[in-house]
Amino acid sequence: MDIRQLHPWNVDPREAMAIQKRLASQVVLEGSPQDVRTVAGADISISGGRGRGAVVLLSYPELRVLESQVVESELTFPYVPGLLAFREVPVLAEAFQRLEHTPDLLLVDGQGLAHPRRFGIACHLGFLLELPTIGCAKSRLVGEHGPLGEEVGSRVELRDGPEVIGLVLRTRPGVTPVYVSAGHRISLAEAAEWVLRLCGGYRLPEPARLAHQAAGGQAIAAAREPAAEQMTLF
């Protein structure tokens, strides 16, 4: 699949922040994905200056793995909180380019709108791919929230001052919640509902969970069906 090239990646942190601020105004924070047949998850692990990016494509609603691409590459951007997209997206972009099928919906292990400049990695990827994209992070980057109920589906607004930037969502009882925010072409309410639909009894939605495993080096078997491709490791 194609990924748009809208800016250089080899920039200094100040220019990277300026790019985020410029592109943030173009993100679409509304929408409800229709006729979803495939969902993808994206994640990356980092070790010794190298990144291992993984994209896993699943059928929906069966949640069978159709395709998985894993790419390893040197990281060229330094670690700067709030600028992780410039460090990680170039690796993930190569994995997306190797996908033979375009997902209808993307879940990213990271922030979307819930970001200091309202342009986290989920917004960045969603905008470059022009896909409905959800940020589903395991930890909070910015914002405050009130107490959260213990029942699955309980949610509370994540706010940065007066602005609602995401939801804190309980996906399993007695387990730390996830932080959901819109990435691109989807509303916050829809993003939360899709996360719950895709969790399958785990804390993380299945596409993101499998991408996390693949990025960590665990093999993910693809379904054997005509439209599917077996996983290729690079």
d(Cα 215, Cα 213) in Å, to the nearest integer? 5
Look at residue 217 in the predicted model and tell me its pLDDT.
Answer: 82
Q: Is the pLDDT of residue 234 over 50?
A: no
Its CATH architecture, for the domain 13-143+151-233, is: 2-Layer Sandwich (3.30)
Domain spans in the chain, listed from the N-terminal domain onward: 13-143+151-233
Q: Is the pLDDT of residue 199 over 60?
A: yes
d(Cα 138, Cα 224) in Å, to the nearest integer? 31
Radius of gyration of the chain (CA): 16
Look at residue 221 in the predicted model and tell me its pLDDT.
Answer: 61
pLDDT tens digits, 107-122 = 999 999 999 999 999 9
Nearest to 29 by CA among 149, 120, 156: 120
Q: What is the mean pLDDT of the chain?
A: 93
Calculate what percentage of the chain has a pLDDT beyond 70: 94
| Interval 128-144 mean pLDDT | 97
Calculate what percentage of the chain has a pLDDT beyond 90: 90
Look at residue 131 in the predicted model and tell me its pLDDT.
Answer: 97
pLDDT tens digits, 32-87 = 999 999 999 999 999 989 999 999 999 999 999 999 999 999 999 999 999 999 99
Q: How many residues does the chain have?
A: 234
